[in-house]
Amino acid sequence: MADSLHRQWTLLRALPRQPRWVATADLHERLTEEGFDVSRRTVQRDLNSLSSLFPLVSDEAGTGQIWAWMEGAPVLDLPGLSPASALAFRLAELHLRPILAPEAVDALALRLVVAS
């Protein structure tokens, strides 16, 4: 169950907002690069299931189905960062915290890594 949830969150983060689109095949490739061993059909099923819960849209393109977040859909902030983003936030915490206003630190608190 945890793998499927992680996979679906990865899919949601990979979807662009309209008017940009991404093909199911490209999403499958991205999941493979992230270490998920699933078929393209599983990706299609995930996307169809997610589109009943989230404002996702699809269309048929010459190479298959394409997907995007619906234009104007509220921004969904899913937990989890790429390694590069995590590094950037950690460096910000280590080097900028002393000079940031307390309000700015509070606003970033959910993204900052807890110092040990």
pLDDT at residue 47 in the model: 96
pLDDT at residue 23 in the model: 95
Asked if the structure places residue 75 within a domain, the reply is no
User: How many folded domains does the chain comprise?
Assistant: 2
The answer to whether residues 69 and 17 touch, using CB atoms and an 8 Å cutoff, is yes
60 and 11, same domain (yes or no): yes
Q: pTM here?
A: 0.66
C-alpha span between 66 and 56 (Å, rounded)? 11
Q: Which domain holds residue 36?
A: 2-69
The answer to whether residues 68 and 17 touch, using CB atoms and an 8 Å cutoff, is yes
Asked if the structure places residue 76 within a domain, the reply is no
60 and 97, same domain (yes or no): no
Strand, coil or helix: 98: helix
8 and 55, same domain (yes or no): yes
Two structure tokens written together for 115: 């110092």
Over its length of 116 residues, how does the chain's per-residue pLDDT go in tens digits? 568 888 998 899 889 989 999 999 999 999 999 999 999 999 999 999 999 999 999 999 787 899 999 988 876 665 666 667 767 777 877 788 888 888 877 777 655 544 33
Taking each helix axis as running N to C, give the angle between helix 2-14 and helix 24-33, from 0 to 180 degrees, rounded to the nearest 10: 120
Strand, coil or helix: 113: coil
56 and 87, same domain (yes or no): no
41 and 94, same domain (yes or no): no
Asked if the structure places residue 58 within a domain, the reply is yes
Asked if the structure places residue 16 within a domain, the reply is yes
pLDDT at residue 11 in the model: 92
